[in-house]
A and B are shown apart, each in its own frame.
Chain A
Amino acid sequence: MTMDAPPRVMSGASGRPLTLREHEVTFGTATVGAALVGELEASGLMGRGGAGFATSKKVELLRHQRGHHKVVVVNAMEGEPVGHKDRTLLSANPHLVLDGAQCVANLIGARRVAVCVSRKDSAIVNHVQRALHERERRGTGPEFILDTPPWRYVAGEESALVHWLNDNETMPQYRPQRPNVLHVGRSPALVVNAETCAHVGLINRFGALWFRELGTPSSPGSTLVSVTGAVHRPTVLEVALGTPLRSILRAAGADPDPLALLTGGYGGAWLSGEHLDVAYCNEDLRSLGATVGAGILVVVPKGACGLAETHRVVQWMANESSRQCGPCAFGLPALAEDLRTLLHDARDPHGVLVRLKERCDVIQGRGACRHPDGVVRLVDSALRVFAGHIDEHVNGFPCAALTTTRRWVTVPALEHESDLVWE
């Protein structure tokens, strides 16, 4: 790890994936015993895919489902355009992820594991394929399959992945009850993020006490963070949860005195650059409206326009809506349009600001998946964190950042609606 402790899930990273033999030399061989249930619960591992839900609770829910043909789905879709952690992990230690998936499969009694990597990441697809071949020759464990859905922001949402496995379509599905159990065919399915799997693989080997040596009591362990924006070079770091933000930025070679940080991802929240002393873990970040989310930090330096950065992200996110639900299909473009008006159009900015806030309240919680909620959270946080600067826009002061073309949050090019590939 970059700060003081040695790396965990990134142990032995060497610029190419570890082979199965190298993997076993680095981490030791492992068998899955019944003790893992208790260890997993004691470890307090929280999912690293974004929601931050206790992995042991999800496993427990699936353990008590009937059926012999349960499925574990490893989510390595990495829908966040500014996230690189699952890719980095799979190009260093693919077998650790597969080990963890095997552990989870054992725990819930699944015989199949589907590893989902977006087909855009062809190098990662190759790494995983090679790793699976190596394991096949050993001939033990559950049946692994590699699946390559198209890359879309919402394709990594768990019901969308399951929909893909069922019907080759990466659109999220409506789930009336939560928590509920997703099904591939008639088999109960458990969706786990790739990084989460890697941590399970380590907990299986070294136990809960070891896992808790790093991190805070409610956010134990280490985590991967993708840092981009105003940095020396975009990086993925493994840090202990609870590390002060300032040290993470220093280790990443980031601007030490930024305007703000985008935390969690496009569906995350802005954090003002005044709060760099906060500990990087959900319990502390959430008190400031921010989140660990998918392990993303985008550094935005002073002089940039937070409103303009938010607008570009929201515009792209609106385009990535699967357009199945009215409030998302119509609401998100409306938010993007309001932001654009605030930035560029001088007519009635006060009214637009009021309308933007109302629309946020109206859209919140009304999609089949949480995609619109993420966008609303981002916009809400922008209105809070950049309130002073937004006032200047509303009152018609010129914004210096709009005269430059330098932007800090990487946003992919907008595709035309008819070019979006869902299957």
Chain B
Amino acid sequence: MNGLKVIYNRNLRNRIHLSWMWISLGVVFVLPLSLFIGLMWKSAILLDQQSLIDLLFSSEWKPMAGKFGYLTFIVSSVWVTMISLLIAGPVCLLTAIHLTQYAKSWVLKIMAPVIDILAGLPSVIFGVWGILFVIPLLANHIGPFFGKSVSGYSILAGAIVLSIMIIPFILNILIEIFQTVPKELSEASLSLGATRWQTIKFVLLKKSFPGIVSAFGLGMSRAFGETIAVLMVVGNVVHLPTGVFQPGYPLPSLIANNYGEMLSIPMYDSALMFSALLLFVVVLIFNAISRLIILRSSR
């Protein structure tokens, strides 16, 4: 009798676990899908009126005249993201290599929580830091060094702030990845007469390549979608940027700055939804590509 009850309880528990699993699985799949469908539906009005090519490759942004060309925003987003990754990538790789391969173990023990805290800071703090330090640095030193008089609010400012933001994020993942490489593997390479550096190049980096790609992919998604910190320093001028000292206007800033305002303009609502859709799709593609690389190299 008692035994039966236990079995019954266990079955019930199993069933509850199972149903929770299905629900969470459902949420994981349905939520983004419904988001995507919602965005599609909302931007359909815009897509009806203008061709996709026009939308993506024109920089003419005149909402009053019903002209929505996204090139300025796309180019700004791409530049800010790429430059931030260009800065953060090498810094993260070298730091992670140093911390896991060369530094004394107590250094990593101290650094790990510090990096965690940095990764968890609210992004507005990075924005403030950008305004206080990066903008003056660009306006007073780096700009003049290149013979330019600039305000500081620029693509470069956005990229620098972003890179500082994503460094702890990427670094965290890289350290974890490097630590999972068994030390016996490095020792095998060393015992064959390889130097430390050769071992890092041919064994550590090779072994963790898929992980590195995914870390950068995730960092890139993060950078592409980051809103507030970039918005605070990037200038937000609707003008196709032709240099890194010029202000830009990335997609997330466009949405954040304008949503809820000027919705009386016809199609403006739809236009903002379309930029959200763009953001969504690009981040999706970043993720898909990094996953594909992981899949192919793990075979």
A and B form one complex: no
Contacts from A to B (Cβ < 8 Å): none
